[in-house]
């Protein structure tokens, strides 16, 4: 069904459903319809059936306004979603999305597959020559389950929702358009001298949203206090039913004893002021240059007598109730007594309409993407059917004309030609068949030749790679090949890495091994290694590390279970022990193209020897899986003499009369860790051929340089 140019902004509150329809006419936003449907009960009351009450309210909205075919924007409470603002580093605008995706994984405490999220650069962001220099990005999200729950009443009523927005952000859109349009139209934001900020306090039924904004930057917080807290205070202290307390709260001035009513509600007034002061104080600690100019109140709770005056007196700000909108036109709505009486509660609906009309500063939406895809497919179905029908009609006509031409052809005119073509077709088919047989035989002989010639290499590949790994594992060479005694060189001063287990696993596709969690761990390890070994990553290297797709194709994953005892905890040695020791010696040794990585010398097929790097051997992506702390273990003393210990127990001295025997065990701080790497086989023949080609190219270049020098010398000596 085609949609008109009007927009409905709908807010489902705890006490009522609010709806406002606006249209853009001659560059002005005009309100041409509204509705305020109050529920028989508050949704948060224990005996209330929230789903049924909301469904009835939506049904009434449809009855009063016929079928809603306009664009529909709805809000969700601020506490139902997440709004985070951060400043990305200077980067190309087209790469901001990659940074936001990384930030989303850090900031959103759920799996991204279970979350609906969107982002947008805030107004006033400095963009020059395609680079975002001084900018701020807003990241907004809510759980997918919550999004579907908010859309359920509209789905049952067959109302298609186009935009889902957080209520605090809808309030920001309203304020930016209605009160701050002059500064935003200039689009000039000086972070060192920002314009004055406004505080918007939207007091709801069970909670309140507080938004602080200067038009260019936003800070928002949900507070667990609302209009129901005043009602509960009256219920508790005056022993009234909830309904009577609610009526008394709304008509406090007409009560028998108004002073008693206000005194009863004073603790809630104080709590509200305290929460607002705490929120503004925290905001000032984050932005010390911000100045608060005014406090704006929205929500029907602000109609409670004395609330605005109390807040103004205790907070010290100019307090105004948002009961009129400066840039909204439409006298039929604005002059309606029902609208004027409930105007403070339509601020969110106004902001939603502005976003639907395309005049808002924020245009993010939390409608699940699969719903948008389904709607796009549904919208294109009629066009697809029409195109297929046209194609079928054209093909049917082509077939009819072709069949008619074929029926009028005389066979006797073409019989000789058809015979010649058939003969040539048989001749061609015979040659193609013979060619296929010879090609299959050649392929078979090539495979057999490669099998025979390459069998020796396959027998050696595991010996080569095991020697390569063994050669790269850090270990110390002792004089004379003899391991010194523990007393002469304690275990916690030995840098050796000991391997206790060597496992391998083959993957047809290494992407099955390279999970997102493992990729994140690899990036963290490389950054830690770079910082520890004084090899800082440049901005380009760090971005390449973030975008590293991981190993591709088939290959093996080696897993080594290792330990080391180099964990002597001294002030000078503290940064070199534990996992840092593994990074310093083990990761450095296995990291391809690193200056400290180990090369290996292996025999060639022609009897010579060749030295290869780890990268040439096909080793990549070295990774320490776990980052643990050393634990104390008991290491057996090789010099321990059980007989001497037995003699001592019997009271008989062994050796020198006053010397104690060797201890049976030494306590040692040991770190156990798991180390993995990828091996993708590089055949020996290919490696040797590449080395020979490099040497031949180098020799040819050297000869060229020598010839040039010789020609230059001869030219200089010529008469």
In this structure, the answer to whether residues 512 and 615 fall within a common structural domain is: yes
Assess if residue 449 is contained within a domain: no
Each residue's pLDDT tens digit, 174-195? 999 998 888 887 777 777 788 8
Q: Over 50: is that where the pLDDT of 431 sits? A: yes
Lowest-confidence segment of 240-244, 267-271, 412-416, 467-471 by average pLDDT: 412-416
Assess if residue 386 is contained within a domain: no
In this structure, the answer to whether residues 339 and 219 fall within a common structural domain is: yes
pLDDT at 654: 47
| Mean pLDDT, rounded, for 99-108 | 85
Last residue of a domain, one of 304, 335, 367: 367
In this structure, the answer to whether residues 581 and 714 fall within a common structural domain is: no
Residue of 221, 220, 222, 217 whose CA lies nearest to 137: 217
* Beta carbons within 10 angstroms of residue 439's beta carbon: 10
Most confident of the ranges 103-117, 452-466, 491-505: 491-505
In this structure, the answer to whether residues 291 and 362 fall within a common structural domain is: yes
pLDDT at 249: 79
- At 270, list the tokens: 């104080």
In this structure, the answer to whether residues 644 and 703 fall within a common structural domain is: no
SS3 at position 535: coil
Last residue of a domain, one of 347, 367, 387: 367
In this structure, the answer to whether residues 695 and 677 fall within a common structural domain is: no
| Mean pLDDT, rounded, for 475-497 | 79
Distance, CA of 312 to CA of 314 (rounded, Å):
6
Q: Name the residue with higher pLDDT: 681 or 243.
A: 681
Q: Over 90: is that where the pLDDT of 685 sits? A: no
Assess if residue 262 is contained within a domain: yes
**Average pLDDT over the chain, rounded to an integer:** 86
pLDDT at 171: 93
Which residues, 6 or more positions from 392, have their beta carbon under 8 angstroms from its beta carbon? none
pLDDT band at residue 647, thresholds of 50, 70 and 90? low
- At 44, list the tokens: 């948060």
Lowest-confidence segment of 221-225, 280-284, 398-402, 619-623 by average pLDDT: 398-402
Residue of 617, 507, 506, 622 whose CA lies nearest to 560: 622
Number of domains in the chain: 3
Q: Over 60: is that where the pLDDT of 283 sits? A: yes
Assess if residue 445 is contained within a domain: no
Assess if residue 613 is contained within a domain: yes
Q: Name the residue with higher pLDDT: 250 or 168.
A: 168
Distance, CA of 105 to CA of 350 (rounded, Å):
33
Q: Over 90: is that where the pLDDT of 398 sits? A: no
Each residue's pLDDT tens digit, 148-159? 999 999 988 888
Q: Over 80: is that where the pLDDT of 661 sits? A: no
pLDDT at 719: 44
SS3 at position 212: strand
| Side-chain half-sphere exposure of 77, counting CA atoms within 13 A | 19
SS3 at position 410: coil
Residue pointed to by tokens 């049952």: 156
In this structure, the answer to whether residues 707 and 666 fall within a common structural domain is: no
Which residues, 6 or more positions from 605, have their beta carbon under 8 angstroms from its beta carbon? 456, 457, 684, 685, 688
Last residue of a domain, one of 321, 336, 367: 367
Q: Name the residue with higher pLDDT: 250 or 568.
A: 568
| Mean pLDDT, rounded, for 489-497 | 87
- At 260, list the tokens: 């008693």
Q: Over 80: is that where the pLDDT of 407 sits? A: no
Assess if residue 388 is contained within a domain: no
Q: Over 90: is that where the pLDDT of 686 sits? A: no
Distance, CA of 181 to CA of 174 (rounded, Å):
10
Distance, CA of 92 to CA of 90 (rounded, Å):
7
Contact 234, 202 (CB under 8 A): no
pLDDT at 113: 84
Assess if residue 296 is contained within a domain: yes
- At 461, list the tokens: 């590949």
Helix (H) or strand (E) holding 89: none
DSSP string, 449-511: HHHHHHHHHHHHHHHHHHHHHHHHS--PPPGGG-PPPTTTS-GGG----EEEEEEEEEESSGG
pLDDT at 17: 93
Q: What is the CATH number of the domain that holds 215?
A: 3.30.420.40
Distance, CA of 633 to CA of 666 (rounded, Å):
8
Residue of 171, 234, 178, 180 whose CA lies nearest to 203: 171
Distance, CA of 445 to CA of 447 (rounded, Å):
5
The alpha carbon of residue 309 and the mean position of all alpha carbons in its chain are separated, in whole angstroms, by 45
In this structure, the answer to whether residues 342 and 277 fall within a common structural domain is: yes
pLDDT at 413: 66
- At 17, list the tokens: 């459903």
Q: Over 80: is that where the pLDDT of 200 sits? A: yes
Q: Over 60: is that where the pLDDT of 646 sits? A: no
Each residue's pLDDT tens digit, 528-576? 999 888 888 888 988 998 999 999 999 999 999 999 999 888 877 878 8
DSSP-derived letter for residue 195 is P
Q: Over 60: is that where the pLDDT of 656 sits? A: no
Give the pTM.
Answer: 0.54
Residue of 174, 168, 249 whose CA lies nearest to 212: 168
Q: Over 80: is that where the pLDDT of 415 sits? A: no
In this structure, the answer to whether residues 707 and 615 fall within a common structural domain is: no
- State how far the alpha carbon of 539 is from the alpha carbons of 13, 378, 543, in Å: 48, 45, 6
In this structure, the answer to whether residues 708 and 618 fall within a common structural domain is: no
In this structure, the answer to whether residues 284 and 355 fall within a common structural domain is: yes
Q: Name the residue with higher pLDDT: 414 or 106.
A: 106
The C-alpha R_g of the chain, in whole angstroms, comes to: 40
pLDDT at 716: 66
In this structure, the answer to whether residues 199 and 237 fall within a common structural domain is: yes
pLDDT band at residue 718, thresholds of 50, 70 and 90? very low
Which residues constitute the domain of residue 716? Answer: 691-719
Each residue's pLDDT tens digit, 506-516? 999 999 999 99
Each residue's pLDDT tens digit, 617-634? 999 999 999 888 899 999
Assess if residue 375 is contained within a domain: no
Contact 39, 153 (CB under 8 A): no
Distance, CA of 361 to CA of 171 (rounded, Å):
11
């Amino acid at each position: 069904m085609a949609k008109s140019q009007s927009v409905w902004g709908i807010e489902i509150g705890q006490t009522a459903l609010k709806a406002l329809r606006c249209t853009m006419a001659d560059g002005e936003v005009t309100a041409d319809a509204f509705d305020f449907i109050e529920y028989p009960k508050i949704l948060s009351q224990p005996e209330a059936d929230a789903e049924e009450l909301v469904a009835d309210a939506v049904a009434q909205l449809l009855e009063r306004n016929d079928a809603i075919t306009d664009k529909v924007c709805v809000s969700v409470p601020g506490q139902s979603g997440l709004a985070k603002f951060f400043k990305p580093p200077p980067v190309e605008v087209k790469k901001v999305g990659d940074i936001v995706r990384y930030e989303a994984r850090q900031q959103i405490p759920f799996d991204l597959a279970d979350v609906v999220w969107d982002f947008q650069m805030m107004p006033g962001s400095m963009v020059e020559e395609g680079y975002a220099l001084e900018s701020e990005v807003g990241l907004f999200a809510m759980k997918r389950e919550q999004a579907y729950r908010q859309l359920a009443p509209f789905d049952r009523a067959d109302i298609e929702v186009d935009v889902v927005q957080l209520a605090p952000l809808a309030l920001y859109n309203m304020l930016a358009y209605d009160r701050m349009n002059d500064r935003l139209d200039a689009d000039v934001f000086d972070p060192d001298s920002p314009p004055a900020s406004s505080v918007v306090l939207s007091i709801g039924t069970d909670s309140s949203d507080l938004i602080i904004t200067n038009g260019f930057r936003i800070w928002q917080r949900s507070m667990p206090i609302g209009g129901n807290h005043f009602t509960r205070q009256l219920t508790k202290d005056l022993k009234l039913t909830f309904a009577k307390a609610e009526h008394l709260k709304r008509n406090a001035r007409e009560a028998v004893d108004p002073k008693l009513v206000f005194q009863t509600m004073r603790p809630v007034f104080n709590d509200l002021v305290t929460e607002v002061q705490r929120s503004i104080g925290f905001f000032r600690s984050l932005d010390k240059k911000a100045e608060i100019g005014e406090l704006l109140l929205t929500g029907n709770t602000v109609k409670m007598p004395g609330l605005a005056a109390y807040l103004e007196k205790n907070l010290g700000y100019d307090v105004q109730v948002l009961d009129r909108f400066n840039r909204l036109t439409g006298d039929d709505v604005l002059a309606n007594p029902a609208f004027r009486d409930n105007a403070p509660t339509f601020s969110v609906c106004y902001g939603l309409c502005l976003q639907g009309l395309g005049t808002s500063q924020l245009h993010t939406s939390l409608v699940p993407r699969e719903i948008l895809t389904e709607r796009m497919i549904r919208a294109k179905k009629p066009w697809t059917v029409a195109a297929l029908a046209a194609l079928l009609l054209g093909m049917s006509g082509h077939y009819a004309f072709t069949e008619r031409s074929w029926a009028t052809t005389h066979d006797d005119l073409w019989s000789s030609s058809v015979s010649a073509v058939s003969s040539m077709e048989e001749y061609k088919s015979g040659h193609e068949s013979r060619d296929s047989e010879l090609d299959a035989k050649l392929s078979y002989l090539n495979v057999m030749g490669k099998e025979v010639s390459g069998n020796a290499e396959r027998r050696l590949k595991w010996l080569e790679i095991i020697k390569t790994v063994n050669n790269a594992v850090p270990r110390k060479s002792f004089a004379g090949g003899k391991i010194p005694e523990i007393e002469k060189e304690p275990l916690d001063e030995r840098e050796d890495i000991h391997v206790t287990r060597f496992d391998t696993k083959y993957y047809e596709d290494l992407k099955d091994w390279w999970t997102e969690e493992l990729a994140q761990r690899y990036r963290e390890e490389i950054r830690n290694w770079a910082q520890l070994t004084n090899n800082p990553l440049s901005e380009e290297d760090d971005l390449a590390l973030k975008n590293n797709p991981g190993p591709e194709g088939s290959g093996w994953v080696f897993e080594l279970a290792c330990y080391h005892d180099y964990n002597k905890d001294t002030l000078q040695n503290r940064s070199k022990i534990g996992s840092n020791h593994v990074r310093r010696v083990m990761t450095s040794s296995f990291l391809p193209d690193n200056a400290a990585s180990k090369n290996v010398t292996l025999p060639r097929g022609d009897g010579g020897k060749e030295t290869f790097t780890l990268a040439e051997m096909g080793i990549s992506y070295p990774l320490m899986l776990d980052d643990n702390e050393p634990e104390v273990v008991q290491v057996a003393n090789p010099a321990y003499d059980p007989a001497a210990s037995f003699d001592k127990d019997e009271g008989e001295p062994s050796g020198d009369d006053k010397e104690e025997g060797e201890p049976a065990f030494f306590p040692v701080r040991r770190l156990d860790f798991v180390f993995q790497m990828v091996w993708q086989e590089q055949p020996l023949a290919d490696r040797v051929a590449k080395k020979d080609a490099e040497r031949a190219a180098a020799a040819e270049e050297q000869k060229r340089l020598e010839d040039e020098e010789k020609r230059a010398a001869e030219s200089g000596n010529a008469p």
